[in-house]
Amino acid sequence: MLCSHYQQYKQQMPIGTFRMSLTYRLLQLCDKSENEKFHRCKSCQQMDSEGMLCFGCPFQGCTKQGHMIQHLKNENHQFALALTSGMLYCKLCEDFKGSIND
């Protein structure tokens, strides 16, 4: 189940804008070649099969080096999507909180 922070976020953002933003970001990733299934971190440029996509901007960050979590803190963004599992990471909960399809 998703956290209350995400539920608030969805209520505050117009649903059309939310869907369009998320769909655009996911389509960008789906358009990649078979060799690009590992996602490159924008901070360290390392390929990471468990990469994450920020909800607040187009930043892609790694989990191994903690660059996505650092990005969320530095930019005051709240959520990131784990690209391989579809799990939502909440900065305030400091944890993965279910799938965005929940």
Long-range Cβ contacts of 82-85 (<8 Å, 24+ apart): 82/50, 82/51, 82/52, 83/29, 83/39, 83/50, 83/51, 83/52, 83/53, 84/49, 84/50, 84/51, 85/50
Where residue 85 falls among pLDDT bands split at 50, 70, 90?
A: confident
Predicted confidence (pLDDT) at residue 52 exceeds the cutoff of 60:
yes
User: Which CATH superfamily does the domain covering 4-99 fall into?
Assistant: Zinc/RING finger domain, C3HC4 (zinc finger) (3.30.40.10)
pTM for the complete prediction?
Answer: 0.74
